[in-house]
């Protein structure tokens, strides 16, 4: 089976290419920048294909899977997905962008008809939280409300920060009675990740979509733990975020962070950790579970390549829009290196 990695020369993409080759997967590297794409291909003796997302249709010959690593994904996913549906190619990506999940969920029937799987979010931002959400639902099948929170140590790449800026002007959101609704920016709550209470700020993570489609729980909120001063700043930042709605300002900031932010080093990836907290309630009973994982980029590389391996061995591969926990199962995350198990209260 041949996997085309789009955005292969980016920070996350190149890490995934290295790991995929170590696991014996057959890889074609691709991207918009010809010099970077061909350079990566030469270093690893791989085939390369240089094209913009809008040209994907004519560049998928002989490809079984596309793994999109080119963010912001809201700018790249649509033409690549269109091409995958036309050519019968499975689509995966490592996005955490809520808008992308919602858009792909809308194309479920189209993908089913084409016999194609749309499997976004096979990286950190979704795999551990989605599997934890599924685990919580298994513990309390009648749950009506779900809350998820993330805390992680380690740096962010310039590409990740640029993607975050793309979403920043959308404001706060939650899912209520199955529908997404706006909420005030910077709403906080206290979360115990297992070693004491922390302040966590509401952030519209992709789990507002994936957790809903995985579990059917209609009320979902998502949070990210921040140090005290940062949490207070988030509550004051609504007016500043409105500036990011101005495209020239947003694009300028994205170019700046891509050029000046240092990507996390191997040492940072090795030392970093992440904690996931989840709470489900049916109004009478509440269950809490936690999950400890390696640093986000390390987990993303492992999860994305493991997803490809799992798809290759499935006798009946999924079709249509799928979340990681539904395509595989709640214990998919437990098969990744450095993930010991769910910790239940």
What is the per-residue DSSP string for 173-209? EEEETTEEEEE-TT-EEEEE-SSSEEEEEE---THHH
Q: Is the pLDDT of residue 259 over 60?
A: no
- Residue 243 main-chain phi, psi, to 5 deg: -65, -30
What is the per-residue DSSP string for 208-246? HHHHHHHH--SEEEEEEE--HHHHHHHHT-HHHHGGGGS
What is the pLDDT at residue 239? 46
Judged by average pLDDT, the poorest of 44-58, 65-79, 216-230, 308-322 is 216-230
Judged by average pLDDT, the poorest of 29-43, 89-103, 181-195 is 181-195
Count of CB atoms within 10 A of residue 1's CB? 13
Please give the DSSP secondary-structure letter assigned to residue 53: G
What is the residue whose two structure tokens read 């987990």? 299
- Give the mean pLDDT of 18-29: 98
Q: Is the pLDDT of residue 242 over 80?
A: no
Please give the DSSP secondary-structure letter assigned to residue 263: P
What is the residue whose two structure tokens read 């994904």? 73
Predicted structure pTM score: 0.88
Contacts of 58 (CB under 8 A, 6+ apart): 51
Query: Which pair of tokens denotes residue 293?
Result: 């994982």
Q: Is the pLDDT of residue 149 over 90?
A: yes
What is the per-residue DSSP string for 114-163? HT-EEE---STTTHHHHHHHHHHHHH-TT--EEEEEEEE-S---HHHHHH
Between residues 109 and 158, which one has the greater pLDDT? 109
Alpha-carbon distance of 243 to 248, in angstroms, equals 10
Judged by average pLDDT, the poorest of 60-74, 100-114, 124-138, 173-187 is 173-187
Q: Is the pLDDT of residue 290 over 70?
A: yes
What is the pLDDT at residue 268? 79
Mean pLDDT of the chain: 87
Domains of the chain: 2-122+298-327 (3.40.50.720), 127-296 (3.30.360.10)
């Amino acid at each position: 089976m041949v996997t085309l990695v789009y955005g292969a020369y980016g920070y996350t993409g190149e890490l995934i290419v290295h790991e995929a080759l170590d696991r014996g997967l057959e890889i074609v590297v691709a991207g918009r920048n010809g010099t970077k794409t061909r350079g990566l291909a030469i270093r690893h003796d791989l085939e390369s294909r240089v094209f913009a997302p809008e040209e994907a249709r004519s560049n998928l010959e002989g490809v079984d899977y596309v793994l999109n690593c080119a963010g912001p994904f809201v700018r790249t996913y649509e033409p690549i997905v269109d091409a995958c549906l036309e050519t019968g190619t499975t689509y995966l990506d490592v996005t955490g962008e809520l808008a992308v999940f919602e858009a792909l969920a809308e194309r479920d029937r189209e993908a089913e008809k084409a016999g194609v799987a749309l499997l976004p979010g096979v990286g950190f931002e979704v795999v551990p939280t989605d599997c934890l959400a599924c685990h919580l639902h298994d513990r309390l099948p009648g749950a009506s409300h779900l809350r998820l929170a993330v805390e992680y140590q380690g740096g962010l790449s310039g590409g990740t920060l640029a993607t975050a800026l793309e979403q920043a002007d959308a404001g706060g959101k939650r899912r209520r009675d199955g529908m997404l609704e706006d909420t005030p920016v910077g709403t906080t709550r206290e979360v115990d990740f297992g070693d004491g209470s922390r302040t966590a700020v509401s952030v519209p993570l992709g789990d507002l979509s994936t957790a809903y489609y995985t579990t059917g729980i209609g009320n979902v909120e998502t949070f990210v733990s921040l140090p005290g001063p940062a949490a207070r700043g988030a509550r004051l930042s609504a007016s500043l975020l409105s500036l990011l709605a101005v495209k020239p300002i947003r694009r300028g900031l994205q170019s700046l962070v891509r050029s000046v932010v240092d990507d996390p080093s191997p040492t940072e990836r090795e030392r970093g950790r992440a904690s996931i907290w989840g709470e489900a309630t049916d109004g009478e009973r509440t269950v809490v579970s936690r999950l400890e994982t390696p640093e986000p980029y390390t987990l993303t590389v492992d999860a994305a390549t493991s997803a490809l391996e799992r798809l290759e061995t499935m006798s009946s591969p999924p079709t249509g829009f799928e979340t990681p926990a539904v395509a595989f199962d709640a214990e998919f995350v437990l098969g990744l290196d450095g993930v010991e198990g769910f910790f239940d209260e």
